[in-house]
Amino acid sequence: MEKTEILEAIKACKENTKKRNFQQSFDLIINLKGIDLKKTDNQKEFFIILPHVTKTKKICALIGGELKEQATEICDKFLISDDFAEYSKDKKAVKKLTDEYDYFIAQANIMPQIATSFGKVFGPRGKMPNPKAGCIVPPKVQLNPIYDKLQKTVKAAWKKSLVLQVLVGTETMKDEEIADNIITYYNTVIGQLPNDINNLKSVYLKLTMGSIVKIKV
């Protein structure tokens, strides 16, 4: 995929979309082919760190006392292990957490408590703290670099569908930054496919309220 083709697609998206009174986002859509998802070995999930932040992600820490001081300063919300029992009795409150926060950082030595209190709701919604994303941490760790990395982290997966859709930018970002994010995501996905580019069907880009623009690959 050439960067010039991506920049042309970004330009076309902007030209074909009416100006709205809210900030629109750029979504990259990748259609795959030739992968039998009925075979669990063909199903994949991984995380990609983009070069540029697309939107501010809200992050909640599920921790013990060791990380409380850091979490207070760095994370958008934190819950101490002493409070977990209340949530295990309140499914509605746990659902609210999954709606409000993009990622959950979990202290490794209390993962059994986290699984017991939050797992039944977090699991089906894809919000369990994931080691692949770097969300499970030891009791002694610097939270700031983890928080910053998660701001640029997006998930890629083909489990139930061969269509991947991800937010790669907003109208306020520079075209070059959006293109960098697209290239990073695309190249990483291609590298994870069983038959490389032979599993690629098509690639599209669109603004929130705009029409789809095909990217030549």
Q: Which class would CATH give 59-151?
A: alpha beta
E strands within 53-118?
A: 59-63, 77-80, 103-107
pTM for the structure as a whole: 0.91
Question: What's the pLDDT score for residue 1?
Answer: 86
Question: What's the pLDDT score for residue 88?
Answer: 87
Token pair for residue 208? Answer: 């929130």
Q: Is 108 exposed, middle or buried (0-12, 13-18, 19+ CB in 10 A)?
A: middle
DSSP 140-173: S--HHHHHHHHHTEEEEEESS-SEEEEEEEETTS
pLDDT under 50 in the chain at which residues? Answer: none
The architecture in CATH of the region 3-53+152-214 reads: 2-Layer Sandwich (3.30)
Question: What's the pLDDT score for residue 20?
Answer: 83
Question: What's the pLDDT score for residue 21?
Answer: 81
Confirm if 55 and 167 have CB atoms less than 8 A apart: yes
Question: What's the pLDDT score for residue 18?
Answer: 81
Using CA atoms, how far apart are residues 8 and 150, in angstroms rounded to an integer? 29
In the sheet that holds 25-32, the strands lie side by side as 163-170, 25-32, 200-207, 213-214
Residue spans per domain, the chain: 3-53+152-214, 59-151
Question: What's the pLDDT score for residue 26?
Answer: 97
- Asked whether this chain's domains 3-53+152-214 and 59-151 adopt the same fold, the reply is no
Question: What's the pLDDT score for residue 119?
Answer: 94
Report the relative pairing of strands 77-80 and 59-63 from DSSP bridges.
parallel
Using CA atoms, how far apart are residues 202 and 140, in angstroms rounded to an integer? 45
Confirm if 213 and 168 have CB atoms less than 8 A apart: no
